Structure 1
Amino acid sequence: MKPRSSLVLAGLATLPFAAVLVAWLGIFNVAASTGHWPITNWFLHFAMRSSVRTYAFGITVPDLRKTGLLQPAAAHFDTGCAFCHGAPGMVPSPAALAMLPPPPYLVHKVGEWTDAQLFRIIRHGVRYTGMPAWPALERTDEIWGMVAFLRRLPSLDAEGYRRLVEEPSVRDRPSAFDAAIARCARCHGRDGIGRDEAVPVIAGQSSAYLIGSLRAYVEGKRPSGMMEVALSQTDASILDMLARYYAGQPLPAKPVGADPVSAARGREIAEQGLPGKSVPACLGCHGGSRKNPAYPKIVGQKRAYLEAQLRLFAESRRGGTDYAHIMTKVAGKLSEKDIEDVATYLTSIK
């Protein structure tokens, strides 16, 4: 028995060193994208809820109807919390939802906690999450104001929420549309030409294609962390206005010069396709006045953007409108040289 006991003790003694070795080797995957094991997820939530319940015990809850600061608490929530937790008429940011664990949508989750537990969470935050402690721990009056607001949150509709968090004159200046255009212009410019070679020309695209693309981003059918985050801050009711605005902008005046050999081969693909690969002519669908308005204009588009989108289609990583599946099949038959040549040609013509 004694030798066996010694072996057990020796084994236990080596465990800390083994753990350090595993950590040093980098074997343990800390990526948020992989999620937790189910048992890990259960244990972390179990530990969190148990901790909040224990530390909230004994907290005296004031009359929330008399706490005051409800409106400032609402404004603070809109500024510092809604990005992660959402609000009436506002879904959480896709960037926040990609956190591990993702922040809960509080409109639906507030009722799972007591007032004392909410106070505890707001005041001290939660470790191993993105939930911070209250910036001024001594301002318990502010924290109780936030608790009072959270209790009211589930009963608010989008308009009621906006009335509470914003003064009317501020809401009227600038308009939601102007604010949305300002966000779009950061990458696309107000002219829709795009401020980077990888950003598409959206000026002059049909409004049908643009609204279809915007909705695909919103619904997660066309993946893009950048576009999803930008649109999460945009009222869905103005997406049509944004599409019409950019559809009405003029196209670039001059095409870009191109390598003549590459452009010549690209022209064959664009106009005749690749019959041996069952690839149809690009301009059969994307050119001419009879094309489906839900198809984008690709003549005069940027080369870097066209190449990137064709590669995404070929790798089945590009969604979009209801016709995106057609391009997935077509692009999958193109070689890298095919993609470069056809993009070169389409960029060089008007």
Structure 2
Amino acid sequence: MRIRARHLLYALLVAPPAALLLAWLGVIGVGAASGHWAVTDWFLHFTMRSSVRTAALLDPVPAPPDDALRPAAGHYDRGCAPCHGAPGKPRPPQVLGMLPKPPDLVGRVGSWSDAELHRIVMHGVRFTGMPAWPAQARDDEGLMMVAFLRALPDLSPEDYAGLVTAPEGTLPAGCSGCHGPEGRGGGPRVPRLAGQSETYLRQSLAAYAQGGRESGIMAQAVNGVPSETLAEIARHVARLPATDGGADPAPATPAPAIARVGRPEHGVPACLSCHGEPRKNPSVPRLGGQPAAYLAAQLRLFRDGERGGGPYANVMARAAAGLEDEEIDMLAAWFSQAPPEPAKP
């Protein structure tokens, strides 16, 4: 039988209403208990892997950092382990009844490249329970998660518990896991909280809670926390000393010119005009002693128009718009060496 053009036309006209009728009749099962046909399961996974592979080729990523496992592990424990399991934490029975079943990542991450893992972390997977990262501007957080996933297969249950268990201290457990028990930092990519003013801390927490400042990790940390509790956390943290009371930290080398006088011809003001001491505006954060990697990441977010925050975030975005990468790294390095200043009453 020869297939003529009119036969194709008839098929095109009949197929859509026939498919709609079949769906309306309800004879197509959607229950998860029965699973997919083998060919359907193969096709869906083949399509997913092919899509991720192609997208990753078009969007290469830098090497994941190896100095931010604790905050990434904390996020994984709260947001990912309930479905994917973790060392010493098997997947619960209700998760095993999902379709598709969330994989045990310990045995799976090795089959993906860094760029592919980053793509999945940041964009999720349609038709599954895998969501997109809640802060799409934070590629740096996606890379932190990739670094943790790379380390996951080699973690013992004791290693994993050590990463996700908050150390005892004066900070609430939900904060100390990343920011340290006394708020003086938990790693190169985590800010020091001790020494900041109550006003700045309260405004920052409110910005995270209201979506004005993007961070997938912080969005999860403040999710569901009442505003009164966030304000109390800000009051508590603001009372913490900026240093441990030991020897005074060595002063930084003389400030670079861009910190002292800026670059007026390019619209870059002097950093120390706002962030120097003494200051009267409690909404301006203290940068002395902050980790260089954290400061550099925040400056790049400001420069690229991806960083929100308190009432002066737009001022910082304009100030950072003219900065080059080399200048950002230089400023971050200098402020990280400056002694932390305690918040004034």
TM-score in terms of structure 1 length = 0.50
Query: Over the residues paired in the alignment, what is the CA RMSD in angstroms?
Result: 4.1
Match status 1:270 vs 2:259 = yes
- Helix, strand or coil at the partner of 2:243: coil
Relative distance call for 1:326 and 1:285 in structure 2 (3 A) is same
5 Å-filtered alignment, 1:1-350, equals 2-4=2-4, 8=8, 23=47, 26-27=50-51, 128=127, 130=129, 181-252=172-243, 255=249, 267-350=256-339
Q: Distance in 2 between matches of 1:299 and 1:189?
A: 17
Corresponding residue for residue 134 of structure 1? none
Cα pair distance change 1:275/1:6, threshold 3 Å? closer
Matched-pair identity in %: 39
Displacement of 1:217: 0.2
Cα pair 1:180 1:234 within 8 Å, conserved: no
In structure 2, C-alpha distance between the alignment counterparts of 1:249 and 1:339, rounded to whole Å: 29
- In the alignment, the residues of structure 2 paired with residue 280 and residue 302 of structure 1 have an alpha-carbon distance, to the nearest angstrom, of 22
Which structure has more helix as a fraction of its residues? 1
Change (3 A) 1:301 1:27: closer
Q: Which amino acid letter does the alignment assign opposite residue 349 of structure 1?
A: A
1:187 deviates by: 0.4
- Unaligned runs of at least 5 residues, structure 2: 13-38, 56-77, 81-96, 101-126, 131-168, 340-345
1:289 CA drift (Å)? 2.8
- The answer as to whether partners of 1:255 and 1:347 remain within 8 angstroms in 2 is no
User: SS at 1:217's partner residue?
Assistant: helix
- How many Å separate the matches in 2 of 1:256 and 1:196? 20
- CA distance in 1 between partners of 2:171 and 2:192 (Å): 18
Provide TM-score, normalisation by structure 2.
Answer: 0.51
**Uncovered stretches (5+) of structure 1, i.e. residues with no partner:** 32-93, 97-123, 132-177
How far apart, CA to CA, are the structure 2 residues paired with 1:276 and 1:294? 27
Q: Secondary structure at the match of 1:2?
A: coil
- CA-CA distance at 1:270 after TM superposition: 1.4
Deviations 1:296-349 (A, max 9, x none): 011222211111100111111111001101111111100111111111211122
* Separation in 1, partners of 2:4, 2:273: 79
Q: Write the distance in 2 (CA, Å) between the matches of 1:179 and 1:5.
A: 77
Alpha-carbon spacing, 1:26–1:242, altered in 2? closer, same or farther (3 Å)? same
Q: Following TM superposition, by how much is the alpha carbon of 1:130 offset from its aligned partner in structure 2, in angstroms?
A: 4.3
TM-aligned CA distance change 1:28 to 1:244, over 3 Å:
closer
Supply the distance in 1 between the matched residues of 2:277 and 2:304 (Cα, whole angstroms): 28
| Structure-2 change in CA distance of 1:204 and 1:27 (3 Å) | closer
> Which amino acid letter does the alignment assign opposite residue 194 of structure 1?
G
Task: Say if 1:95 and 1:225, in contact at 8 Å, map to a contact too.
Answer: no
